[in-house]
Amino acid sequence: MFFHPMDYLIIVAFGLSLWAQFRVKGTFNKWSEVPIHSGMTGYEAARRLLDANGLYDVPVEPVPGALTDHYDPIARAVRLSEPVYYENSISAVSVACHEVGHAIQHQQSYPMLVLRHRMFPVVNLTSGVAPLLILAGLFFQQFNFLLGVGIIFFSAAVAFQLVTLPVEFNASNRARDLMVAEGFITNDEERGVAKVLNAAALTYVAAALISLLELVKYIMIFTNRNE
């Protein structure tokens, strides 16, 4: 009863998401086996890049797991997965410098990052409630207004994902430029760095696409019911 033609597009987007996750793991593993010419570990690259930008008080900390790397804006800390923290590969240094890119964005009050931080408390609340409202609205057509409220809440989550895209791409661009400027990589290594960072960015694009298509689907259902 709730099947919609846009489900086909959502399935395609979901397939793209799975492929993107597979690709990022495969790309990371491939370039993890290629030692970086400078010999630096992910930790050393992150520390040097932070210090070069005056961020002496931002710590670089190891965290368990694989691909768990992130910048914590509340603690103002760069956290690297153990393989990235300790290894001296192209993958490790690329990911480490990407996370430093976020720290530099924070330092410089990069507008899209500021907007993302301001949106987070609202999205953190609405993203948990939205699926329940949407499901209630889909199953009980007499409560169609619940679907409308759920769509509004879900829109906030989609907007958050869309804002995340320029934040991630900007961090990757900063990382590449700074790695070259600081002499962390050779010209021959730039190709590997680009592949690692582009593969990671693709996962964010796929996730945003899935959410956007789902939002359009719910809007179309809501509109059709009210005609």
How far is it between the farthest Cα atoms of the chain?
65
CA distance 197 to 27: 9
Instruction: Answer yes or no: 44 catalytic.
Output: no
Q: Name residue 36's amino acid.
A: I
Q: Is 60 left (phi over 0), alpha (psi -120 to 50) or beta?
A: beta
* Closest by CA position to 158, among listed 198, 220, 204: 204
Structure tokens that stand for 37 in this block: 């010419």
The distance from CA 95 to its chain's CA centroid, rounded to whole angstroms, is: 12
Q: Which of 99, 168, 189, 214 is catalytic?
A: 99
CA distance 48 to 67: 21
Phi, psi of 185 (to 5 degrees): -130, 155
* Closest by CA position to 179, among listed 84, 87, 96: 96
* Closest by CA position to 66, among listed 43, 53, 85: 85
CB-CB contact of 83 with 32 (8 Å): yes
Catalytic site residues?
A: 99
